[in-house]
Amino acid sequence: MNTELLNALNPDQRKAVESIDGPVLIVAGPGSGKTRVITYRIAYLINVVGIRPYHILAVTFTNKAAREMKERLEKLAPGSIKDITMGTFHSICAGILRREGEAIGINRDFVIFDADDQEKLLKRAAEEIGVDPKKFPLKKIASAISHAKSQLQTPERFRDKSHSYFDEIVVRMYEHYEKMLRANNAVDFDDLLLKTVFLFQRQPSVLKRYQERYVHIMVDEFQDTNLVQYELVKQLSGHHRNIAVVGDPDQSIYSWRAADLRNVFNFERDFPDRSVHYLEQNYRSTDTILQVASGIIADNRERKEIKLWTQNEPGDKVCLIEAYNEQEEAQIVVREAERMSASGKYRLADMAVLYRTNAQSRVLEESFIHYGVPYKLVAGTRFYERREVKDLVAYFRLIHNPADSVSLMRIINVPTRGIGDKSIVDMQAWARQRDLTLWQALEAASSSDDKPPLTSRALAAFDHFYRLIQTLIEDSRQLSLLQLFGEILERSGYQLYLKTQPDAEERLENIAELRTVAEQFNNLPSGDALSFFLESVSLVSDVDNLKENEGGVTLITLHQAKGLEFPVVFIVGMEESVLPHFRSLEDPSQMEEERRLCYVGVTRARQRLYLLRAFRRSMMGSSKVNEPSRFLGAIRSDLTTGSLPKADAPKTQTGVKKIYEYSTRQAQTPPRMETRRPATSMAPVVSAGRPVKSDRPVAPLFKTGDQVSHPIFGDGVVISTMPVKNDHEIVVSFKTVGLKKLLLSFAKLTKG
């Protein structure tokens, strides 16, 4: 069995498996087989060294990883799984507290409160001690308490480090929250780790038993551990000191979850007798992709030097593509995905599109829907299903159609207006008795002497909501769509409400992205604009749901893609302020994490990699020109190409395409202007070329009827040219994609 195990490993993996005495740091690059090494190391300990499975502890970061490791191990060391302690930090600590928690006052029948339970408990705590949730948002307090626990801070320790009035409020809430948890015989997720550390600190005899039991300990994804988790590792390995941690500082991308990259370096400080092993052979990616990744990460300072290499073929050059805007960027992705799928070499399920922020998925989703190409959004919420987007769309729907009781119920108390669940039930019952819709009931209660049997406070709250919506309905008849957008956000208090959320920035970005959608219809008359806008949103949502269970191209954020791999990867938004994100531009440590995030994205690709950016992008409700991402400057030019193969026309769902094109045409050109422009001018302005800066007008190199060729759209015929400021607009009918309107200074057109 010894020979059989070791022959399955490369020399570096074999050394890491055989190094079983004392502390061990295994620095494992992406695609280097770290899961394989951990699994074989456990099998080696059991089958060769003779260690009982009962004496082995293996910590993973997800239950999925633990299941996969157990499946592999069952083949290598059959029957050993039931005695090995293997799982996440949280699951392992929950088991320890069930058995030993009474030693520190935790009943073995404790319940674990999730985020929703925690919020309800904090709401009660705020009521009992007189904290105003409007001034001190509960989610922000919950986040502060969670962060304190991840840093081993009790309420007393947190008080010692507090520096602001908000910190003082958190201390009061933290103390009362802990009392309420105890009264409920409950712990939260952070407590599972923190209470276990305290258990070991306060009960040395309990710690000693676990130290003696776990002769060998292994921890995966060590770069993602926080301070509490690292303390647990040190406690448990304190006797035998056979602790092996596997990680890669270059893949540390979760500082916002309190993960501390420094734990990798602190391990070497705290265990000076450790041995270090590097897994540098990559089994996943082509040599070209690895060279691109290595060039990007080389500028980071906080890292362990690792030189990735592979015996895989060099592979295709990485495609660097510049689109004119995010719409064309999405179109290029969809067309190329369909072209590769049609070739038979790749399935759509082999491809993934990676992006920095959730808001970027909106344009991608719409493009996949428009061309009828299946896709799936992994580990995230579809753009039009995100809470804040659905809330705001519900306001628009109710304004457009007050009989829409579903939308009314969604927003009647969002943000909070003092309308309780019981009051809503009573109002609904009163409406049913009189055969009224809920909106009609609100209207009647507001304008007649016949009132529902509610308190004066509840009636006043309903009346306030009714008058708010009625005012917005009147505004919708006079204001532009964007003006109405602003009125809803301000008058409803929804924008102020979002700013109080701990994830306010991302939610506000999504609202800004929705505003970008509304902007497409802003030039239409008020009623038509609202109607077309809602039709467009409904169309996307409906078609999207039809694709729910179908396989297709994966749309996923860079953070969520960690641990995954795909034959083909597209990374979009390779621009300054997008990737790297604008919040990181002035912070060197955050900039290093952005570079690691890009590195993680690149190394998800096995065979083909596309890096795309837009010359102009709409962000946060405004359109701006972004510089290319600095990460692109770290890539050697001989590793890249700027051209794509010519693509066949994408298949489309005819009905979807017609509605989409009609709505877009109406949004781009007001009806009164239609007689001034030829119908061909309704095609969207796009280009995959690089802008040529000049103060002089660009000379019209083409005339109507010329045969031309475009590097992306293929062959076509010039339909018309029109002078614009310092440029010319050229409308071309392409064989593959139909009409496109391009700017001459951007387009890379050649005469055919």
pLDDT tens sequence across 499-509: 888 788 888 98
Lowest mean pLDDT among 156-165, 449-458, 673-682: 673-682
Terminal C-alpha separation, the chain: 67
pLDDT of residue 119: 85
Residue 341 near residue 632 (C-beta atoms within 8 A): no
Residues 27-34, mean pLDDT to the nearest whole number: 93
Query: Which of 153, 251, 360, 516 is an active site residue?
Result: 251
pLDDT of residue 590: 92
User: What is the sign of the dihedral through the CA atoms of 636, 640, 641 and 642?
Assistant: negative
For 553-621, strand residue ranges (E) read 553-557, 566-571, 605-614, 616-619
Helix-then-strand count for the chain, H and E: 27, 22
pLDDT of residue 44: 94
Residue 435 has pLDDT above 90, yes or no: no
pLDDT of residue 749: 86
Confidence at 381, pLDDT banded by 50, 70, 90: low
pLDDT of residue 539: 53
Confidence at 571, pLDDT banded by 50, 70, 90: very high
- Residue 536's Cβ-count burial label (10 Å; 0-12, 13-18, 19+) is buried
Q: Which tokens belong to 750? A: 């050649």
For the question of residue 329 being annotated catalytic, the response is: no
Residue 416 has pLDDT above 70, yes or no: yes
Residue 652 has pLDDT above 80, yes or no: no
Query: Which of 15, 35, 182, 443 is an active site residue?
Result: 35
Count of all residues that appear for the chain in the document: 752
Residue 283 near residue 310 (C-beta atoms within 8 A): yes
Query: Which of 12, 100, 221, 519 is an active site residue?
Result: 221
pLDDT of residue 728: 75
Confidence at 604, pLDDT banded by 50, 70, 90: very high
| Region class of 258: left (phi > 0), else alpha (psi between -120 and 50), else beta | left
Residues 435-460, mean pLDDT to the nearest whole number: 89
Top pLDDT among 697 and 641 is at 641
Confidence at 677, pLDDT banded by 50, 70, 90: very low
Residue 526 has pLDDT above 80, yes or no: no
What's the CA gap between 750 and 517, in Å, rounded?
A: 34
Residues 648-652, mean pLDDT to the nearest whole number: 40
User: Omega into 580 within 30° of 0, i.e. cis?
Assistant: yes
Query: Which of 12, 13, 14, 34 is an active site residue?
Result: 34
For 273-340, strand residue ranges (E) read 275-279, 318-323
pLDDT of residue 107: 82
Lowest mean pLDDT among 22-26, 477-481, 540-544: 540-544
Top pLDDT among 559 and 108 is at 559
Residue 105 has pLDDT above 80, yes or no: yes
Residues 418-433, mean pLDDT to the nearest whole number: 90
Give kind and range of the element (H or E) at residue 28. strand 24-28
Residue 567: CB atoms within 10 Å: 16
Residue 661 has pLDDT above 60, yes or no: no
Buried b / exposed e along 119-156 (16+ C-beta atoms within 10 A): eebbeebbeeeebebeebbbbbbbebbbbbbbbbbebe
DSSP string, 443-474: HHHHHSS---S--HHHHHHHHHHHHHHHHHHH
Query: Which of 190, 191, 220, 338 is an active site residue?
Result: 220
Residue 33 has pLDDT above 60, yes or no: yes
pLDDT of residue 665: 31
Q: List CB contacts of 501: < 8 A, sequence separation 6 or more.
A: 137, 139, 140, 507
Residues 666-688, mean pLDDT to the nearest whole number: 30
DSSP 741: E
Query: Which of 274, 382, 410, 604 is an active site residue?
Result: 604
For the question of residue 229 being annotated catalytic, the response is: no
Residues 616-639, mean pLDDT to the nearest whole number: 89
What's the CA gap between 674 and 347, in Å, rounded?
A: 42
Residues at the binding site for ATP are: 28-35
Confidence at 700, pLDDT banded by 50, 70, 90: low
Whose tokens are 């995100």? That residue is: 386
Confidence at 206, pLDDT banded by 50, 70, 90: very high
621-625 long-range contacts, Cβ below 8 Å, gap at least 24? 621/512, 621/515, 621/516, 621/519, 623/325
Confidence at 726, pLDDT banded by 50, 70, 90: low
Three-class secondary structure of residue 619 per DSSP:
strand
For the question of residue 487 being annotated catalytic, the response is: no
Identify the bridge partners of residue 581 per DSSP, sorted by sequence position: 577
Q: Which amino acid is at 622?
A: S
Q: Please give the model's pTM, rounded to 2 decimal places.
A: 0.69
Percent of the chain predicted with pLDDT > 90: 53
pLDDT of residue 165: 92
130-133 long-range contacts, Cβ below 8 Å, gap at least 24? 131/169, 131/172, 131/173
Residue 61 has pLDDT above 60, yes or no: yes
What's the CA gap between 273 and 559, in Å, rounded?
A: 34
Residue 66 has pLDDT above 80, yes or no: yes
Residues 55-77, mean pLDDT to the nearest whole number: 88
For the question of residue 34 being annotated catalytic, the response is: yes
Per-residue pLDDT reduced to its tens digit, 328-347: 999 999 999 999 999 999 99
Q: List phi, psi (to 5°) of 281.
A: -80, 120
Lowest mean pLDDT among 58-67, 169-178, 625-634: 58-67
What's the CA gap between 579 and 628, in Å, rounded?
A: 9
DSSP string, 11-23: HHHHHHHH--SS-
Residues 534-558, mean pLDDT to the nearest whole number: 63
Residue 222 near residue 245 (C-beta atoms within 8 A): yes
pLDDT of residue 2: 55
DSSP string, 83-113: GSEEEEHHHHHHHHHHHHGGGGT--TT-EEE
Residue 30: CB atoms within 10 Å: 24
Three-class secondary structure of residue 613 per DSSP:
strand
For the question of residue 220 being annotated catalytic, the response is: yes
For the question of residue 725 being annotated catalytic, the response is: no
Across all residues in the chain, what is the average pLDDT? 84
Angle at 147 between CA 143 and CA 151, to 5 degrees: 170
Residue 286 near residue 310 (C-beta atoms within 8 A): yes
Residue 647 has pLDDT above 70, yes or no: no
Confidence at 115, pLDDT banded by 50, 70, 90: confident
Lowest mean pLDDT among 18-22, 613-617, 672-676: 672-676
pLDDT of residue 695: 42
Confidence at 649, pLDDT banded by 50, 70, 90: very low
Lowest mean pLDDT among 138-152, 155-169, 465-479, 738-752: 738-752
User: Omega into 11 within 30° of 0, i.e. cis?
Assistant: no
Top pLDDT among 670 and 417 is at 417
Per-residue pLDDT reduced to its tens digit, 34-52: 989 999 999 999 999 999 9
Residue 693 has pLDDT above 80, yes or no: no
Residues at the binding site are: 28-35
